[in-house]
Amino acid sequence: MTARRGRRAPPKTEPEYVPGSLLDWRNSDVHWSSRELPCRYCGFPTNLRDSKRKPAHKVCAEFALTQQAREAAAAYRMNGSQ
């Protein structure tokens, strides 16, 4: 017989975001292009590409991911308190 596990509570504090620590863009075959295009987030030119080959600075992409995570956590807290 297997033991039942309850839902884990969300962490009490949000983890500290350290710029440059979320994404690994070391593979230049995937994340580099010889053609500069405007970043999808800030609009400044970049040779970098995200995992979907869209132009994006690494810092801009990490900031967007952090924002999405915060919004998802806030929505989880709102829905969980009802």
| CA–centroid distance for 14 within its chain | 14
What pLDDT shows up at residue 27?
83
In this predicted structure, the answer to whether residue 2 has a pLDDT above a threshold of 90 is no
What pLDDT shows up at residue 37?
96
Confidence of residue 5 (pLDDT cuts 50, 70, 90): low
Write the secondary structure of 29-60 as one string of H (helix), E (strand) and C (coil).
HHHEEEEEEECCCCCCEEEEECCCCCECCHHH
Average pLDDT over residues 17-34: 78
In this predicted structure, the answer to whether residue 62 has a pLDDT above a threshold of 70 is yes
In percent, the amount of the chain with pLDDT more than 70 equals 70
What pLDDT shows up at residue 14?
58
| CA–centroid distance for 80 within its chain | 23
